[in-house]
């Protein structure tokens, strides 16, 4: 990508979008198109079409999405499927109409079947039933992958997709009703420490295994894929790429590590009446490793970094 080309980062205020902006700026890209939701509502088709027609970005990072953990997905399934379908449909279609050179669509590892073989390979898509707690979100993300594939096939576009594992890091959402597991646990355990609570409740059995990727690694992977030559991408014959670390931990192990980071010495109480979600979600990342990319931030280092950010920005 030319350092002066127009690059639209959709969702630049979110966890992933803000990390992509930091990565692009630190690498010397100086012509970023950034719009808040009040400036450009990506759910509004006409507004998105007019934006692309006027600005004509050369490249697009589609990081905008409605995201959340089990509580949010269970509470607002209609919003999760509608908003994500609307955002990606409007942006991908407008990107084709305006002649965008390359677009990167960010999905999620929840696209895979609940009982997919572990680690999950890209070929496991659509081979079984989805995890019910986030099915609406997963269906929307699968539609985004297929939309990119379909436009490439019919129109010769260069629309790529990456499927990250569970992300965390600076600028995460720490609201307990809508956050993912790491920010939720960091906040709960921090508040337990501040309030001298004897224990912290953890949803589920603590036995499900999860893989976690620092958002700065994710941003690095996104730029890596966008900069890859078309010949290398074609050689992989890949409709999309998994992005992760290739290793996982149990929720109980994660919680204990966060207790160490926060310096909380109380007990962990696992509420087995609450849902666990999928038993395991580990990505096979060999396809992206073959291209030459690997994650760099280990989990403990990333948790320390995220907790420092939380302490500096909490309200």
Domain presence at residue 192: no
Domain presence at residue 82: yes
Alpha helices in the chain (DSSP H): 15-27, 45-55, 70-75, 77-98, 135-155, 181-194, 215-227, 230-236, 251-262, 286-291, 299-313
Domain presence at residue 225: yes
pLDDT at 315 over 60: no
Q: Containing domain of residue 24, as a range?
A: 7-172+212-245+282-297
Domain presence at residue 180: no
Q: Domain of 31: which CATH number?
A: 3.40.50.720
CA gap 215, 227 in Å, rounded: 18
- Catalytic option among 112, 137, 151, 168: 137
Q: Model confidence over 171-195: pLDDT tens digits?
A: 998 988 778 899 999 999 999 999 9
Domain presence at residue 263: no
Q: Model confidence over 223-278: pLDDT tens digits?
A: 999 999 888 887 666 679 999 999 999 999 999 999 999 999 999 999 999 888 77
Q: Could you give the number of structural domains in the chain?
A: 1
The β-bridge relationship of strands 166-168 and 209-210 is unpaired
To the query of whether residue 137 is one of the catalytic residues in this protein, the response is yes
Known binding-site residues for substrate equal 188, 203, 210, 276
Mean pLDDT of 199-215: 96
CA gap 162, 54 in Å, rounded: 27
Domain presence at residue 64: yes
CA gap 311, 190 in Å, rounded: 9
DSSP 132: G
Known binding-site residues equal 11-17, 106-109, 141, 164-167, 180, 188, 203, 210, 276
Domain presence at residue 43: yes
Q: Model confidence over 67-84: pLDDT tens digits?
A: 887 778 888 999 999 999
Residue 120 contacts residue 284 (beta carbons within 8 Å): yes
């Amino acid at each position: 990508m030319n350092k002066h080309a127009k690059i639209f980062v959709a969702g630049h205020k979110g966890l992933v979008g803000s990390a992509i902006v930091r990565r692009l700026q630190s690498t010397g890209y100086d012509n970023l198109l950034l719009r808040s939701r009040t400036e450009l509502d990506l759910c509004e088709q006409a507004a998105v079409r007019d934006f692309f027609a006027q600005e004509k970005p050369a490249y697009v990072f589609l990081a905008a999405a409605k995201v959340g953990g089990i509580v949010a997905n269970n509470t607002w399934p209609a919003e999760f499927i509608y908003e994500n379908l609307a955002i990606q449909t409007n942006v991908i279609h407008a990107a084709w109409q305006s002649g965008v050179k390359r677009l990167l669509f960010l999905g999620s590892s929840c696209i895979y079947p609940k009982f997919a073989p572990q680690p999950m390979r890209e070929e496991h898509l659509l081979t079984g039933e989805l995890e019910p707690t986030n099915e609406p979100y997963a269906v929307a993300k699968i539609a985004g992958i297929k939309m990119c594939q379909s436009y490439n096939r019919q129109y010769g576009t260069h629309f790529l997709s990456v499927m990250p594992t569970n992300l965390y890091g600076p600028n995460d959402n720490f609201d307990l009703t809508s956050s993912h597991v790491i920010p939720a646990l960091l906040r709960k355990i921090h508040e337990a420490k501040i309030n001298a609570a004897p224990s912290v409740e953890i949803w589920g059995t603590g036995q499900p295994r999860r893989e976690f990727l620092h958002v700065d690694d994710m941003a690095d992977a996104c730029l890596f894929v966008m900069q890859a030559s078309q010949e290398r991408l074609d050689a992989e014959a890949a409709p999309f790429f998994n992005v992760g670390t290739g290793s996982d931990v149990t929720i109980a192990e994660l919680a204990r590590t966060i207790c160490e980071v926060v310096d909380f010495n109380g007990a962990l109480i696992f509420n087995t009446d609450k849902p666990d979600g999928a038993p395991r979600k580990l990505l096979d990342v060999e396809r992206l490793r073959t291209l030459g990319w690997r994650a760099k931030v280990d989990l403990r280092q990333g948790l320390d970094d995220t907790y420092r950010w939380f302490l500096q920005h909490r309200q």
